[in-house]
Amino acid sequence: MMDYDVIVIGAGPGGMTAAMYAARANLKVAMLDRGVYGGQMNNTDDIENYPGYQSIKGPELGERMYETATNAGVEFVYGDVQEVTIDAQQTKHIRTDSDEITTKVVIIATGSTNRKLGVLGEEKYSGKGISYCAVCDGAFFKNKEVTVIGGGDSAISEGLYLANITNNVNIIHRRDQLRAQKVLQNRAFANDKMAFTWHASVTEIIGDDQHVTGIKMLDNQTGEEKVVNTSGVFIYVGNVPNSQMFKNLDITDEAGWIVTDTEMATSVPGIYAVGDVRQKKLRQITTAVGDGGIAGQNAFEYIERLN
Ligand code: FAD
């Protein structure tokens, strides 16, 4: 007797939607997460690009998606997934930090983690002035000056969030143009608390052993190196997939993103992947939710074919 029809690993927007669709098809479904449900939405303040809401706080959207999934019959189970194996009967065995669970279908929705900058001082001052989450840590920098490293959506939207709390936000970007959506760029350029340093790479984060006091940066055009004082450094330089635990399945590209077809199927029958962990171009809540709907429905069709 199998524990579940479908196990969804990760309860962010992708996973919660996949689980909801599978449960509405009358399957026995659980979503596993190693933390609280909501995923990256818990680290986001205002979400302004999710249809149906002019603006909604990330944790609130997470709460609503959780209610929709659990009302459809999805169980939420705590578990840090270590490995997935498949036996000769095609049953999938999910090993967590505390349990082993069996299922017919696995939907992987484990998202991604912030990429580290990889410079001297980053490890030493992480949590002592260095952060990867403005919503989590911004309040520690009230009325101070902070630095944001990066030029994409996350860097600019979190920079704008920090501008509401701090005195000044210096955005450091290695190019001379931002990659963020135009609407965010316009808002950032119009905000007099935000300053921009172009063509610059941070080479070291420095401090007094207890806390960050500044950064060392290199002007990529002139080669000039200088030290700038700052009390906080927020790093948004991209993401790495949370897929190490699926290495044995051989379903990722070289960088670790899980490869699927347009039906969210991986190369392993009965294993699907959705959301940010997938090899794709646009990593957003809307696209994670779209992936989730497709995978949830395909889980049902896969199980129908087994019967
Ligand atoms: P995630 O939301 O990352 O959820 C993955 C879940 O998997 C997590 O709960 C994690 O705990 C769990 N997990 C991981 N590994 C394991 C494991 N081994 N075992 C068990 N559970 C595991 N998108 C927008 O559309 N609009 C925005 O305004 C927006 N702002 C953003 C701001 C910031 C600062 C960030 C970082 C992202 C923002 N995004 C925004 C992007 C959006 O949050 C993601 O695209 C979306 O959350 C991806 O959903 P997901 O379900 O794929 O993964």
pLDDT average per 10 residues of sequence, the chain (307 residues): 93 98 98 97 90 95 98 98 96 96 98 96 95 91 97 95 97 96 97 97 96 97 96 96 97 97 98 97 95 98 93
- Ligand 1 within 6 A of CB of 160: no
Atom of ligand 1 nearest to the CA of 283: 45
pLDDT at 30: 98
Residue pair 82/96 in contact (Cβ under 8 Å)? The answer is yes
Atom of ligand 1 nearest to the CA of 133: 34
Retrieve residue 261's tokens.
């077809």
pLDDT at 144: 97
ipTM confidence? 0.99
- Ligand 1 within 6 A of CB of 5: no
- For residue 160, report the phi and psi dihedrals to the nearest 5 degrees: -65, -40
For ligand 1, pick from 110, 264, 278 the residue to mutate: most ligand atoms within 8 Å of CB.
110
Active-site hit among 99, 136, 208, 253: 136
pLDDT at 44: 87
Query: How far, in Å, CA of 141 to CA of 293, rounded?
Result: 40
Active-site hit among 3, 45, 80, 137: 137
pLDDT at 106: 98
Is 80 noted as a catalytic residue in this protein? Answer: no
**Tens-digit pLDDT profile for residues 282-291:** 999 999 999 9
From ligand 1's centre to the CA of 276, what distance in Å?
A: 7
Atom of ligand 1 nearest to the CA of 50: 25
pLDDT at 118: 96
pLDDT at 45: 86
User: Residue 81 CA to chain centroid, in angstroms?
Assistant: 17
- Residue identified by tokens 């196990």 is 7
From ligand 1's centre to the CA of 271, what distance in Å?
A: 20
For ligand 1, pick from 37, 44, 133 the residue to mutate: most ligand atoms within 8 Å of CB.
44
Query: How far, in Å, CA of 160 to CA of 137, rounded?
Result: 14
From ligand 1's centre to the CA of 41, what distance in Å?
A: 6
- Across the strands, what pairs with 212? 207
- Ligand 1 within 6 A of CB of 291: no
Calculate helix-pair angle for 13-24, 285-306, nearest 10 degrees: 40
Is 136 noted as a catalytic residue in this protein? Answer: yes
From ligand 1's centre to the CA of 37, what distance in Å?
A: 10
**Tens-digit pLDDT profile for residues 50-81:** 999 999 999 999 999 999 999 999 999 999 99
Residue pair 96/1 in contact (Cβ under 8 Å)? The answer is no
- Ligand 1 within 6 A of CB of 214: no
pLDDT at 135: 85
Taking the model in full, what pTM does it have?
0.91
Residue pair 181/188 in contact (Cβ under 8 Å)? The answer is no
pLDDT at 292: 98
